[in-house]
Structure 1
Amino acid sequence: MRLGIDVGRATTAAVLTDTAGRVVGRALADSAPTTAVSLRRALARLGPLPGTVRAVAVVCDLARRPLVPRRVAALRISPGCHPALGPFVGWPPEARAAVAGPYRTVDGGSSVTGRPLAALDRVATADFAHRARAAGVTAFAVCAAGAPTAHGPELEAAGIIADSVPDAALSLSYEIGSPGLRERENATVLNAALGGWAGELVQDCRRALRSAGIDAPLLFARDSGGLVSADYFRRHPVIATSPATPCAARGAAARTGSERAVVVDAGAGSVRCLTVVDGEPVRHERPYPGALGVRVQLRAPEVTEPAEGTADEIRAVVARLGERVPGAPVIRTGGGAEAFADTGAPESLFDAARHAARADCRAEIEHIVSAAGRAELDQLLDAARGHALSLAIAAGAAPATVRVRTLTHAPVAYLPAGVHRVTVQATGEPFTDVPS
C-alpha cells in the first residue's frame, strides 16, 4: 500500500491506496502549527492500517511552515559583468536582506555550447570561500556560465570550497536550473537558502511516521506534481516549494476524467487557478517569481492567484484561462470556497493526497548540445536519456521501472547550426523495498 498526505493550512488529508491504486482508506484532520502534529492527527484519524505501507508521499508548500532562510555565499564563474547584472540584483528587498551573504565573480566558465572561456581562478575561489567562512556563512551557491553544457568548472570550484570550508553545504547550478545564467543562479541561491527548511521538514515527517509505526520510504511532491525521495528533496528543495495546487489539479483531473480543464483550487486562505492539458498542468515557459518572489525559470506549473479572491475576480481569471482550452470544463478542488456559493464535491478535499499516493517519481533535464551531424546528435540524445534516467533513480524511482516519458530537441535559432536545446523527462515507480 501507498500513503499520500496533503498538509494544508486548515486541514491535513491522508489517502491510503492498494497496489492497484484503489483508495482503501482516507481521513481528514485539522492542521496544527507544526507539520509533525498535523501528520499525527491525520494518521490517528486514519486508524489501524489494513496492511504494510510501502511508501509515503507528502505534499507540503513552503508557505505552510515558518521560514528562516539560510544566508548564502554566491560564487559566479564567468567573465566580468556590469554590477547591475551581478548576483542578488533584482531580488525583492526582504529576500535579499534575509539571504544575501558574500558574493563574487571569478574567471572561468564556458560558452553556452561548452567552449571554455577561461581557466577557473582557483586562488580567487579559495579566497572567497575563506571570506565566507569568516563571515559565518557555510551555505554556498556555485553558478558557472555554460554549466548545463559543461559542468566541470562548478565541480572544480566545489572541491576548492569543500577543502576550505569542510562543513559547507553546496548547491551547484548545473543540477538545478535552466540554461539562462541569472535565473539559474537565482534558483541555485534559493536552493541553498532553503536547505534548513527542507531538512527540518524531513525530520518532522519521519518522526511523525515512526511514532505511528510506519517505517517506509518517504517521498515529497515536487512542483510538477511528481515525487522525489526525501534525500533528493533535502538536496534540491527549490523544486518543491509549491506542489499543493499542481497535485490537487492533477488529482481533480483524474477524479473527473478530464484531460483538459481549468482547475480552481480554493484553499483556506487563497484561491489558485491553472489549466490542465493532457492531464498535466500547463507550465511557465518564461522566467517567473518563484520562492520568496525571486525570479527563476524552473518550468513549474503556471498558477494564477487572484489578488483579492472575490467571486468576480475569480470568474474573470477562469474565463481568461478558459481561452487557452476552449470548451474545457471548470473543476473545483479544495475546501476553502468562501468566494463560491457551493463547496464543491467532498472528494475534492482529497485530490492532492490521492494524487500523491498514486504518483510516480520524476526527474527532468534541460541541456544545450552542439553536434556536427546527425550521428553525433543521436549520441548526445542517448547521453541525455541516460542522464535523465539516472536522475529519476536518484530521485527515488525503482531502477526496473524507469523510462523516458518525453524527449524534445530543437535547434536554437540564435546560435550556429548544430546547436540544440534538449529537454528530457524520466519517470518511474517509487522504490519501496527499503525503509527510509
Structure 2
Amino acid sequence: MRIGIDVGGTNTDAVLLDGAHVLAAVKVSTTEDVTSGIVSAIDGLQHQHAFDPAQVQAVMIGTTHFINALVEARRLAPTAAVRLSLPAGRSLPPMVSWPERLVDAVAGRSYLCHGGHEFDGRHISDLDEDELRKAADDMGRAGTRSVAITSVFSPVNHEFEQRAAEIIAAELPDVAISLSHEIGRIGLLERENATIINAALRELAAGIVDGLAKSVTGAGITAPLYLSQNDGTLMDVDFARRYPVATFASGPTNSMRGAAVLSGLDTCAVVDVGGTTSDVGVLNQGFPREATTAVSVAGIRTNFRMPDVLSIGIGGGSLVLGEPAGVAVGPESVGYQLTSRALVFGGDTLTATDIAVAAGRAEIGDADRVGHLEPALVRAAMERIAADATDAVERMRTSAEPLPVVAVGGGSMLLPDEMFEPGDVRRPEHYAVANAIGAAIAQIGGEVDRVYAIEPGQRDTVVDEAKQEALDRAVAAGASPSTVEIVDFDEVPIPYLPGNATRIRAKAVGDLQLGR
C-alpha cells in the first residue's frame, strides 16, 4: 500500500492505494500550518478504511509550501549570488530583473568573479580563488546564510562551480550552497535565478521537510517519504531539502498524472478545477507537456523543469459578481474559507459553488440557501465559466487534431458536459482527488540536458551516451532498473556555435523501487 497526499490552497486531498486500486479517498480543508491538515487527512483515511501503518510502503506528498513562501516573500534566507563569468557577463548583474520586494526579502548580495566555460568546455578564464575568499569574507560580515553559485555553461562543465563551493564552504562552513548545474538548464540568467531562489528556500526546506516527516511518523507510518517534483516524478526528503524549487509545480502536475491514470488516456487536455484556480495542461505519453520557454515564477524568469500550464482564476471559491448581463466569476476567491463563507454553508458570499448547487450540478451544503438566486444569473454564471474554460483549453492546443478533455478536481462540477469537438468532457471515477492519486503513482526520473560538440560520425555514440546517463540517473534516484525507459528525447543543432554544437536532452523514467 501507498499513500498519496496533495496540499492545495483550499483542500488537502489524500488517497490510500493498493497497487492501482483506491481503498480510501478523503478531502479535508487545508490548514494554515498545512501539516495539521495532513494529519487530519491521514486520520480520515484510517477512519474510512482501517489499515496497518506498517503495511504502508511509501508516502508521497505534493506541497505548495515553497512556492507560497516565494510568492509571499516571507521566510526567505539572506542569500548571496556568485557568478563565475569575468571578464564576460558584467552588463547584467545577478537579480537584475527581480522585483524589488524579493531582492529585499532575500537581502540579496551579488558577486562577479573570474571563471566560466565556453559551450565546448574551454575556459573563459581561470578561477581566482583569492577573489572567492574575499567574497566569502564579505558574505560572512553581511550575515549571509545561503549562497547560489552559477558558472557560464556549467551544465557542460561544472568543475568551477564545485571548486568555488569547496572554497566558500571552507570559509563559511555553516552556509547552505546551491550549484546551478544541479538545478537549471543551459540559459545563464534563468538558471542563475532558479539557483538563487533555491538557495533562499534552503533553510525553510529543512524545517518544512522535517515537519512533513513528523506529521507522517506521528500517524505511526515509518515508510519512506517522497515529495512530488515539477515534472511528475518523485524525490526523497534529502533531495527535497537541497532542491526545494523542484516542487513548485507539483500540484498541477499531480492532477494531470492522476487524470492520465484514472481516464486511461495518455494524450489529452486536463482541466483541474480547485477552490481558487483552474489549471489547464496537456498530457503527452502520460506526462505533462513541458514549457519550452522561460517560466516566470513570482515575477522571476527561470528555466528549470516546469509543465506547460495555463491557470485561470476560476474555482469553487471564486466570487460571483454583477448582474446576468455582465456577470463575472473570479479571480477573487474565498479560498480555504469556502466552507464558512459560501451561501450553501451558511455564509454571506456568493461563490461559484453556490451557482453549481443552484444549477443542480452539485449536492453540497444546503441547497435551500441558494433557492432565491435568479435563474438568469445562475445560467449566465455557468455560461461564463464554460466560455472561460473552453477558451483556456483552446489556447493550450497546438494543432487542429481532436483533443479529449478530462476534468478533475473538486470544483470540476463547474464545467459543462460538452465543450467543443470531440464534445464530451470526461470525469473519471475519483476525479475529485486526482491530484493525490497522481502523487501516489508518481515515478522516479533522471534527465540530461547538455550541449555537445559532435565530431563527424560520432552522432550515434553521443546520443547513446546521453540516453544512458539519463537512465543511470533515474536508477541512482531510486527507480527500479527493469522499469526505466527513455520517455522524452530532443536533439537540436545550434548553428551559431562552432564545432557542430548540438543540444541534447534525454529524460528517463521508471517505477519507484519500494523497500529500497
TM-score of the aligned structures, taking structure 2 as reference length: 0.78
Q: Find the counterpart in structure 2 of residue 293 from structure 1.
A: 299
Q: Find the counterpart in structure 1 of residue 37 from structure 2.
A: 38
Correspondence 1:218-229 to 2 at 5 A: 218-229=225-236
Is the deviation greater in 251-260 or in 165-174?
Answer: 251-260
Aligned equivalents of 1:172, 1:380: Cα separation in 2:
25
Q: Find the counterpart in structure 1 of residue 457 from structure 2.
A: 374
Cα shift at 1:428? 2.7
Which runs of 5 or more residues in structure 2 are unaligned?
Answer: 314-329, 332-383, 418-424
Cα shift at 1:146? 1.6
Q: Find the counterpart in structure 1 of residue 433 from structure 2.
A: 350
- Aligned AA (1:293): G
Q: Find the counterpart in structure 2 of residue 396 from structure 1.
A: 478
Which runs of 5 or more residues in structure 1 are unaligned?
Answer: none
* SS across alignment from 2:178: strand
Aligned equivalents of 1:260, 1:237: Cα separation in 2:
29
Does 1:330 pair with 2:405?
yes
Is the deviation greater in 381-390 or in 344-353?
Answer: 381-390
Equivalent residues of 2:256, 2:438 under 8 A apart: no
- Aligned AA (1:396): G
Given the superposition, is the C-alpha separation of residues 36 and 114 from structure 1 closer, same or farther in structure 2, using an over 3 Å criterion?
A: same
Q: Find the counterpart in structure 1 of residue 57 from structure 2.
A: 54
Q: Which of 214, 218, 223 is the equivalent residue of 1:211? A: 218
Equivalent residues of 2:4, 2:14 under 8 A apart: yes
Cα shift at 1:202? 1.1
Q: Find the counterpart in structure 2 of residue 387 from structure 1.
A: 469
Cα shift at 1:30? 2.2
- Aligned AA (2:292): E
Given the superposition, is the C-alpha separation of residues 397 and 323 from structure 1 closer, same or farther in structure 2, using an over 3 Å criterion?
A: closer
Given the superposition, is the C-alpha separation of residues 100 and 421 from structure 1 closer, same or farther in structure 2, using an over 3 Å criterion?
A: farther
Cα shift at 1:45? 0.7
* SS across alignment from 1:318: helix
Q: Which of 305, 311, 314 is the equivalent residue of 1:305? A: 311
Aligned equivalents of 1:35, 1:428: Cα separation in 2:
30
Aligned equivalents of 1:379, 1:152: Cα separation in 2:
24
- Aligned AA (2:431): S
Correspondence 1:57-136 to 2 at 5 A: 57-61=60-64, 62-63=66-67, 67-81=74-88, 84-136=91-143
* SS across alignment from 2:310: coil
Does 1:25 pair with 2:54?
no
Aligned equivalents of 1:406, 1:321: Cα separation in 2:
20
Q: Which of 439, 446, 463 is the equivalent residue of 1:363? A: 446
State percent identity of aligned pairs: 31
Equivalent residues of 2:262, 2:428 under 8 A apart: no
Q: Which of 113, 137, 150 is the equivalent residue of 1:143? A: 150
* SS across alignment from 1:194: helix
Correspondence 1:160-239 to 2 at 5 A: 160-239=167-246
Q: Find the counterpart in structure 2 of residue 416 from structure 1.
A: 498
TM-score of the aligned structures, taking structure 1 as reference length: 0.91
Aligned equivalents of 1:21, 1:46: Cα separation in 2:
16
Given the superposition, is the C-alpha separation of residues 277 and 379 from structure 1 closer, same or farther in structure 2, using an over 3 Å criterion?
A: closer
* SS across alignment from 1:244: helix
Cα shift at 1:136? 0.6
* SS across alignment from 2:97: coil
- 1:94-118 superposed Cα distances (whole Å, 9 cap, x missing partner): 2222125221111111101111111
Aligned equivalents of 2:189, 2:181: Cα separation in 1:
13
Cα shift at 1:8? 1.6
Provide the aligned C-alpha RMSD in A.
Answer: 2.4
Q: Which of 273, 281, 300 is the equivalent residue of 1:274? A: 281
Cα shift at 1:63? 4.3
Equivalent residues of 1:411, 1:417 under 8 A apart: no
Given the superposition, is the C-alpha separation of residues 101 and 320 from structure 1 closer, same or farther in structure 2, using an over 3 Å criterion?
A: closer
Cα shift at 1:414? 1.7
Given the superposition, is the C-alpha separation of residues 43 and 325 from structure 1 closer, same or farther in structure 2, using an over 3 Å criterion?
A: farther
Aligned equivalents of 1:422, 1:341: Cα separation in 2:
42
Larger Rg: 2
Q: Which of 382, 386, 391 is the equivalent residue of 1:316? A: 391
Aligned equivalents of 2:189, 2:429: Cα separation in 1:
44
- 1:169-206 superposed Cα distances (whole Å, 9 cap, x missing partner): 11111111111111111111111112123222211111
Is the deviation greater in 105-114 or in 364-373?
Answer: 364-373
Is the deviation greater in 217-226 or in 393-402?
Answer: 393-402
Aligned equivalents of 1:382, 1:288: Cα separation in 2:
30
Equivalent residues of 1:232, 1:395 under 8 A apart: no
Given the superposition, is the C-alpha separation of residues 327 and 380 from structure 1 closer, same or farther in structure 2, using an over 3 Å criterion?
A: closer
Cα shift at 1:55? 0.9
Cα shift at 1:282? 1.6
Equivalent residues of 2:149, 2:165 under 8 A apart: yes
- Aligned AA (1:2): R
Equivalent residues of 1:88, 1:100 under 8 A apart: no
Q: Find the counterpart in structure 1 of residue 248 from structure 2.
A: 241
Aligned equivalents of 2:236, 2:184: Cα separation in 1:
19
